[in-house]
């Protein structure tokens, strides 16, 4: 008689713990590749007269995709991103060149509120689901599952940016204007057109419904909290119901 083997429990990897260590209030952040100028104890990091990273809160940061300037500045930027990630920060990237002089007042003090709003508006004005290299008259058809997954990732990033602004100063949310509403409307039309096009060619399957529903509910939660007056398209409302 053979001995029955004991069942092996599933392996669950421990989630990454968020441990926010005290931020150095030194005017310089010393990294292996060099030093970054540190405004306001981590509110803004800059180098070569350009803003590289903004800290919306101790947990939420926005960093530029590519560092401007000459020399090993890109290496320094990635070291800064790694330093922040190691502190438990959530980091979003934007494609932006932002001189520090835009946000310095007559006394040389950094206007961090204006900088935060500038970066947030730039982020909310982009839409990664709409390939910029295609003419506006061309509508690419991609699998709905891929689009819904990309949409979830994008709206999670939007949520992080808004939570960062709220943690820094709730009044900043009111100064975003229609940026969030505009992005939401573009996404709704994009997803609705894609679903209708997929249905016509028989590429919209029942397995895609759950991914679309997850994306719709995430969008709904964000808009309900940060843009309560926004009216969803009838097609989006029908899917939510």
Name the more confident of 108 and 183. Answer: 183
Q: Does pLDDT of 6 surpass 70?
A: no
List the structure tokens of 151: 């949409």
CB count within 10 Å of CB 62 equals: 26
* CA-based nearest residue to 158, from 136, 184, 185: 184
List the structure tokens of 137: 């008259």
Q: What is the pLDDT of residues 98-151, one digit of tens each?
A: 888 898 888 888 888 888 888 888 888 776 565 544 455 545 566 788 888 888
Mean pLDDT for the chain overall? 78
CA distances from 46 to 24, 42, 71, 73, 156 (A): 15, 10, 14, 10, 26
Q: Does pLDDT of 193 surpass 80?
A: yes
Q: Does pLDDT of 28 surpass 60?
A: yes
Per mean pLDDT, which range of 5-14, 49-58, 73-82, 144-153 is the poorest? 5-14
pLDDT-derived band at 69 (thresholds 50, 70, 90) equals: low
Q: What is the pLDDT of residue 211?
A: 86
pLDDT above 90 as % of the chain: 8
pLDDT-derived band at 217 (thresholds 50, 70, 90) equals: very high
Give the start-end residues of each E strand in 104-205: none
Q: What is the pLDDT of residue 23?
A: 61
Q: Which residue has the tokens 């030093």?
A: 35
In this structure, what DSSP letter does residue 69 have? S
Q: What is the pLDDT of residue 222?
A: 93
The predicted model scores a pTM of: 0.72
Q: What is the pLDDT of residue 124?
A: 83
The mean pLDDT value for 25-29 works out to 75
Q: Does pLDDT of 48 surpass 90?
A: no
Q: Does pLDDT of 80 surpass 90?
A: no
Q: What is the pLDDT of residues 160-174, one digit of tens each?
A: 889 888 888 888 888
* Domains of the chain, residue spans: 28-118, 127-240
Q: What is the pLDDT of residue 12?
A: 42
List the structure tokens of 235: 């097609």
In this structure, what DSSP letter does residue 10 have? P
Q: What is the largest CA-CA distance in the chain?
A: 88
């Amino acid at each position: 008689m053979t001995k029955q083997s004991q069942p092996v429990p599933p392996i669950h990897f421990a989630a990454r713990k968020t441990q926010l260590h005290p931020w150095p209030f030194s005017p310089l952040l010393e990294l292996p590749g060099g030093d970054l100028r540190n405004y306001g104890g981590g509110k803004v990091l800059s180098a070569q007269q350009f803003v590289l990273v903004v800290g919306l809160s101790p947990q939420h940061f926005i960093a530029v995709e590519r560092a401007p300037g000459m020399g090993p500045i890109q290496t320094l930027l990635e070291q800064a991103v790694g330093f922040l990630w190691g502190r438990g920060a959530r980091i979003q990237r934007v494609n932006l060149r932002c001189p520090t002089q835009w946000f310095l007042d007559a006394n040389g003090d950094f206007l961090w509120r204006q900088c935060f709003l500038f970066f947030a508006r730039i982020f909310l004005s982009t839409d990664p689901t709409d390939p910029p290299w295609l003419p506006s008259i061309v509508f690419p058809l991609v699998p709905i599952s891929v689009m819904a997954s990309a949409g979830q990732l994008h709206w999670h990033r939007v949520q992080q940016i808004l939570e960062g602004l709220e943690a820094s100063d709730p009044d900043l949310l009111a100064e975003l204007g229609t940026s969030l509403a505009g992005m939401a409307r573009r996404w709704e039309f994009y997803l609705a057109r894609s679903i209708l096009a997929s249905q016509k060619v028989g590429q919209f399957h029942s397995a895609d419904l759950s991914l679309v529903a997850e994306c719709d509910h995430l969008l709904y939660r964000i808009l309900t909290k940060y843009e309560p007056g926004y009216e969803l398209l009838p097609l989006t409302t029908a899917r939510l119901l």
